Amino acid sequence: MAKNHWLVSGVGRSGTTMAYSALLAAARAQDPGTLGRYEPFLWGAPTWDKLPGDIGDAFSRTDSINARGVYAHTESPLFHDASHPALDSFIDETLPVGRPVVAKVIRGAGRLGAFLERDPDLKIVHLIRNPLDVVNSALLYFSFFGGEFHPSDEPRFNVEAAARFGDMHRPTFELTEAERSLEWWRLMNEAAYQSAQRFPKRLKIVPYEHLMADLPGVMTGIVEFLGGSANLIDASGLSENVGPVTRWTSLQAVDRDAILPHVDAYFDDLRIFGVNRNPVDIAAMKARLLEKYAACKAGPAFTPQLEPSLAPTRVRSIAVKARQDADASRAAGDKQADRIAEKVSERTGSGWKDIAAALARQSEQIAGTLKASEDRDAGITSLAAELSEKKDEIGALKRTLDSRDARVIDLEAKLKEAKTHLSEAKREGERDLQASHQLNSRLRDRIAALQDEQSSHTGAFEKLRFEKRDVEDKLRKTENRLRTVAGERELYRQQLVELASVLAPRLSTVVTLRPLRYVMRQRQRVKSGMVEIDENGVPRLKTSK
């Protein structure tokens, strides 16, 4: 254990907090100097070297954020299997040589290959859970794309996922909130599978459902895979909750139905549950899961109450706590009502008045508790609205720039390509023109020589006449080529003018923050003939002559 590094990976929480807590305790039982790193891509020193139960309120304070980790996350690709300067430096700092370390990451599933390439002492356990539970938890607690703490990863996720997975990837911008989280879950786990195929002896895939069915047995197997002793696992501590437990169902029925096909694929995947799996156990797991989400409400798809970029950790924590308090108050009220109903069924005659009074008092208490919860929700909503008003312009600018980046790059590429074609056509035209001049000069010299010899060489003259006709044909072909080149040059000039008409208002729009639709409308006017381009490249309305 002196040099071993253990990493717990997962998409979302997915039991990783519990596994991290158990593994850190086990490693410290063998070496008290073992370091602990809790999601170092985001959280810094206030959360390190502590069991999750001892971290306290660090997750609700922005001073706990690890700037080096956020930098490494935003500067390195989301899907990466090789060396990268920012990521390499982060790995070396998180997993120092010569010190035993247990780390947990939830933003590293697409980079596990890079971790294993960089650190030969590293072994990884990747926990995977069914998409219904993972997406439901994500909708309540955080965004996979990280907009709460840094610019959203969604634009670059789409670019990288399309390049790596092709048709398997679905662009997320037109999807519902639940489908966005599902797409992250799907492709990040797919990347983890690929890394496990490359490093089968150093990366182990563990389904959450198996873990929870036999906590002591599966955790013992995990420790043995990582290189530790099986007797290090304390089975008595595995049942303790070390993180928030999701009891609230955020998924709507339409969200659940969109995810169900992926639930079937999850339980049928042999990479997760193996070839020798027990079909009865799998069917029971799936049945319990579907029963859990059978009561999802009908209505529109889930939408977040707070935009991730406008929801500091503290505000989101307050919102979650208020919702949990309201849920607990309703549950307590239901239990009290059941107890009162039991008493009512046992009493007769004069006991009715006492029961009615008790019921009235209990109803008032429940109403007061619910009113306090509603007041707290209203306060949170008011705070969120105030934050939204203050940051609306920044958010709008960020979204506008993100949506235009791809279009700007495309236009710049087309402009560069058009300039290259124009330069090549110009050089080719100059070469053809020079060749035609040389050919004409030689032709004139040849005709003069033939005229001098015409009187004495009648037979030779006829031969030269055929040669002249041949040369004239070549000259006509050359002239046709010159006209074609001239036409191409004019076409490229028109394309450049059109691109200039699009880019000129585009660049002005980026500076002045005018919407992209103005650029597109100007381009459409140029094509329809309503606008003409003057000598300075500025679009102006056509004037009737």
Categorize the per-residue pLDDT at 438 as very low, low, confident or very high, splitting at 50, 70 and 90: confident
The residues, any chain, with a CB within 8 Å of residue 486's CB and separated by 6 or more, are 429
Please report the pLDDT score of residue 402 as a whole number: 67
State mean pLDDT over 19-40: 91
CA distances from 145 to 27, 79, 150, 154 (A): 32, 14, 9, 6
State mean pLDDT over 523-534: 75
Q: Identify whether the C-beta of residue 322 lies closer than 8 Å to the C-beta of residue 380.
A: yes
Higher pLDDT, 324 or 76: 76
Element (H, E) at 10: strand 5-10
Please report the pLDDT score of residue 103 as a whole number: 95
> Lowest mean pLDDT: which of 79-88, 365-374, 471-480?
365-374
The per-residue DSSP string of 25-65 comes to HHHHHH-TT-EEEE-TTTB-GGGTTS-GGG-TTGGG-GGGB
The residues, any chain, with a CB within 8 Å of residue 302's CB and separated by 6 or more, are 139, 176, 177, 178, 250, 251, 252, 255
Q: Left (φ > 0), alpha (ψ -120 to 50) or beta: where does 273 sit?
A: alpha
> Lowest mean pLDDT: which of 118-122, 143-147, 504-508?
504-508
Q: Is residue 393 predicted with pLDDT exceeding 50? A: yes
Q: Is residue 2 predicted with pLDDT exceeding 50? A: no
Please report the pLDDT score of residue 382 as a whole number: 64
Categorize the per-residue pLDDT at 320 as very low, low, confident or very high, splitting at 50, 70 and 90: low
Top mean pLDDT of 103-117, 294-308, 467-481 is at 103-117
Percent of the chain residues topping a pLDDT of 70: 73
Categorize the per-residue pLDDT at 307 as very low, low, confident or very high, splitting at 50, 70 and 90: low
Which of 325, 326, 337, 324 is CA-nearest to residue 363?
A: 337
CA distances from 13 to 35, 91, 256, 260, 266 (A): 21, 21, 19, 20, 17
State mean pLDDT over 202-231: 90
pLDDT, the chain, mean: 81
Higher pLDDT, 235 or 230: 230
Beta bridge partners of 34: none
Strand, helix or coil at 125? strand
Higher pLDDT, 387 or 202: 202
How is residue 81 annotated by DSSP?
-
Q: Is residue 306 predicted with pLDDT exceeding 70? A: no
Please report the pLDDT score of residue 497 as a whole number: 81
CA distances from 540 to 257, 522, 529, 535 (A): 52, 10, 11, 11
Q: Is residue 484 predicted with pLDDT exceeding 90? A: no
Helix axes 131-141, 177-198, angle to 10 degrees: 120
- Cα dihedral angle (73, 75, 79, 85), rounded to 10 degrees? -100
Higher pLDDT, 160 or 326: 160
Higher pLDDT, 349 or 447: 447
Top mean pLDDT of 126-130, 433-437, 481-485, 491-495 is at 126-130
Categorize the per-residue pLDDT at 397 as very low, low, confident or very high, splitting at 50, 70 and 90: low
Show the CA angle centred on residue 241, arms to residues 237 and 247, nearest 5°: 150
pLDDT in tens, 240-275: 555 555 567 889 999 999 999 999 999 999 888 886
Which of 304, 253, 283 is CA-nearest to residue 140?
A: 304
The per-residue DSSP string of 223-292 comes to HHHHT--GGG--GGGTTS--S----S----HHHHHHHHHHHHHHHH-HHHH-TT--HHHHHHHHHHHHHH
Please report the pLDDT score of residue 146 as a whole number: 85
Q: Which amino acid is at 31?
A: D
Q: Specify the pairing of strand 539-541 against strand 531-533.
A: antiparallel
Please report the pLDDT score of residue 450 as a whole number: 78
State mean pLDDT over 200-212: 93
> Lowest mean pLDDT: which of 334-338, 476-480, 509-513, 534-538?
509-513
Unique residue bearing structure tokens 């069924």 = 345
State mean pLDDT over 32-59: 90
Q: Is residue 449 predicted with pLDDT exceeding 90? A: no
Please report the pLDDT score of residue 140 as a whole number: 76
Q: How far apart are CA 138 and CA 129, in angstroms?
A: 12
Categorize the per-residue pLDDT at 355 as very low, low, confident or very high, splitting at 50, 70 and 90: low
State mean pLDDT over 324-340: 68
Please report the pLDDT score of residue 277 as a whole number: 75
Helix axes 253-268, 279-292, angle to 10 degrees: 170
Categorize the per-residue pLDDT at 330 as very low, low, confident or very high, splitting at 50, 70 and 90: low
Q: Identify whether the C-beta of residue 12 lies closer than 8 Å to the C-beta of residue 108.
A: no
Percent of the chain residues topping a pLDDT of 90: 35
Token pair for 342: 């039991």
Q: Is residue 359 predicted with pLDDT exceeding 90? A: no
Q: How far apart are CA 129 and CA 211, in angstroms?
A: 10
Please report the pLDDT score of residue 490 as a whole number: 86
Q: Identify whether the C-beta of residue 52 lies closer than 8 Å to the C-beta of residue 243.
A: yes
State mean pLDDT over 173-190: 94
Q: Identify whether the C-beta of residue 516 lies closer than 8 Å to the C-beta of residue 509.
A: yes
How is residue 5 annotated by DSSP?
E
pLDDT in tens, 63-113: 889 999 999 999 999 999 999 999 999 999 999 998 999 999 999 999 999
Q: Is residue 1 predicted with pLDDT exceeding 50? A: no
Q: 217-221: list long-range contacts, CB under 8 Å, 24+ apart.
A: 219/19, 219/22
Q: Which amino acid is at 469?
A: R
Higher pLDDT, 73 or 511: 73
State mean pLDDT over 379-407: 63
Q: Identify whether the C-beta of residue 134 lies closer than 8 Å to the C-beta of residue 185.
A: yes
Half-sphere exposure of 131 (CA within 13 A, CB side): 25
Please report the pLDDT score of residue 61 as a whole number: 80
CA distances from 449 to 452, 457, 459 (A): 5, 12, 15
CA distances from 359 to 96, 333, 345, 355, 370 (A): 63, 11, 13, 6, 16
Higher pLDDT, 362 or 291: 291
